[in-house]
Amino acid sequence: MSNSHDSIRAVLWQDDKLLLLDQRLLPQQEVWLEYTDSKAVAEAIHQMVVRGAPAIGITAAYGVVLALRQQLQQGRGDWYARLQPDLKILGEARPTAVNLLWALERMGNRLQSLSPDEADPLGLMLAEARAIHDEDIAANRRMGELGAALISESGCAVLTHCNTGSLATGGYGTALGVIRSAYAEGRISRVFADETRPWLQGARLTAWELVKDQIPVTLLADGAGAALMQQGQVKWLIVGSDRITANGDVANKIGTYHAAIAAKYHGVKVMVVAPTSTVDMSLADGGLIPIEQRSPVEILSLGGQRVAAEGAEAWNPAFDVTPAELVDAIVTERGVVRNPTTEKMREMMNNQ
């Protein structure tokens, strides 16, 4: 893979600090924010300085490192018990993204495994956070290969929704990782990207990433996707996910369900790309996924300016659930599940 198609990283650990590229300011400004406090990291997750399920999990893992450092500065003692309030605050920052809870559980298990007289608990926990980060990038590259192989057409166009690239992950991306790989192999010639209201992740982030990595991109309003499909312009809808349930139902950015229905009607295939840390086998179906409700202000305003009539109310779920029967393939680092069912999902998750 040419580095020209993979030049972006949004989460860094540098000089004993967590650095986050402030995605709220893209594409107009590229501003890096520094964090040394775990509560500030939780607020950064909630305020969408960082977003995308894998990136949220990685950021939370580094947040645990910062919390531990703060506790150690106050004395050693039982650091696991003392860290519980910090872990709770991090865990409540974005409830739908299961990667957040997965990363915190993994970091918590590592904490529990440390002996009270461990010489360098901070170093060991930082190594665990870095491992989560490195494993995510490796998983994304593997998913890129697997997903690209599903695209049998040569030089076709695809549609994507929200942002699933390096900005949403440790690097390379999930759905955009597949797109990067497929573009490098000549399977994709152009990407159509939904603008993704109300935060405009498609317009601000996906388009920025693809332009920066020299992949042709055309932006469209969220409501234009069905007309694009009707004209036969795209062969695949490729998206990520914040949580996938045991039966293959998929929670993703609001508007994904809408796009998947249109894809089904027009014979466009739907590919969902996400690491296995996104799969929640404890939930039987998508109806059990907690859906984050965000402030009505995000719908009623744009760029800080009111755009809706005064007195109008707004409904602002951050995610919707696409039923498994609308999904042609779920791609993870462990393999591909075609036409997902509970049995197929279980088999994939047991494939170590």
pLDDT at residue number 238:
98
Judged against a pLDDT cut of 70, whether residue 199 lies above it is answered with yes
Tally of helices (H runs) and strands (E runs) in the chain: 12, 16
Distance CA 137, CA 140 (A): 5
pLDDT at residue number 1:
41
3-state secondary structure at position 172: coil
Least-confidence region, from 77-91, 142-156, 172-186, 240-254? 77-91
- Residue 7's alpha-carbon distances to 145, 214, 233, in angstroms, are 18, 10, 28
Q: Among positive and negative, which fits the CA dihedral 37, 39, 43, 46?
A: positive
Distance CA 3, CA 141 (A): 13
The mean per-residue pLDDT over the stretch 22-38 comes to 96
Q: Which residues contact 215 (CB under 8 A, 6 or more apart)?
A: 5, 179, 180, 183, 191
Token pair in block for residue 138: 């490796």
The mean per-residue pLDDT over the stretch 27-36 comes to 97
Give the Cβ contact number of residue 5 at 10 Å.
Answer: 19
pLDDT at residue number 74:
83
The mean per-residue pLDDT over the stretch 110-134 comes to 93
Judged against a pLDDT cut of 70, whether residue 41 lies above it is answered with yes
Confidence of residue 225 (pLDDT cuts 50, 70, 90): very high
**Under a CB-based contact definition with an 8 Å cutoff, are residues 26 and 205 in contact?**
yes
**Under a CB-based contact definition with an 8 Å cutoff, are residues 331 and 146 in contact?**
yes
pLDDT at residue number 96:
77
Closest Cα to residue 289, out of 43, 101, 63, 50? Answer: 101
Confidence of residue 268 (pLDDT cuts 50, 70, 90): very high
Distance of CA 154 to the CA centre of its chain: 27
Judged against a pLDDT cut of 60, whether residue 3 lies above it is answered with no
Confidence of residue 6 (pLDDT cuts 50, 70, 90): confident
Judged against a pLDDT cut of 70, whether residue 95 lies above it is answered with yes
Q: Among positive and negative, which fits the CA dihedral 209, 214, 220, 224?
A: negative
Token pair in block for residue 73: 């500065």
Confidence of residue 18 (pLDDT cuts 50, 70, 90): very high
Q: Which residues contact 39 (CB under 8 A, 6 or more apart)?
A: 86, 89
Domains and CATH numbers, the chain: 3-137 (1.20.120.420), 143-349 (3.40.50.10470)
pLDDT tens-digit series, residues 277-322: 999 999 999 999 999 999 999 999 988 899 999 999 999 999 999 9
Judged against a pLDDT cut of 60, whether residue 2 lies above it is answered with no
Burial class for 16, CB neighbours closer than 10 Å (0-12, 13-18, 19+): exposed
Instruction: Provide, rounded to the nearest whole percent, the portion of the chain with pLDDT above 70.
Output: 99
Which segments within 106-254 are labelled E, that is strand?
Answer: 156-160, 188-194, 217-220, 236-239, 243-245, 250-253
The mean per-residue pLDDT over the stretch 265-276 comes to 97
The mean per-residue pLDDT over the stretch 156-176 comes to 96
The mean per-residue pLDDT over the stretch 7-21 comes to 95
Residues with catalytic function? 242
The mean per-residue pLDDT over the stretch 97-110 comes to 92
Which position has the token pair 């739908």? 96
Whole-model pTM? 0.90
Parallel, antiparallel or unpaired: strands 243-245 and 250-253? antiparallel
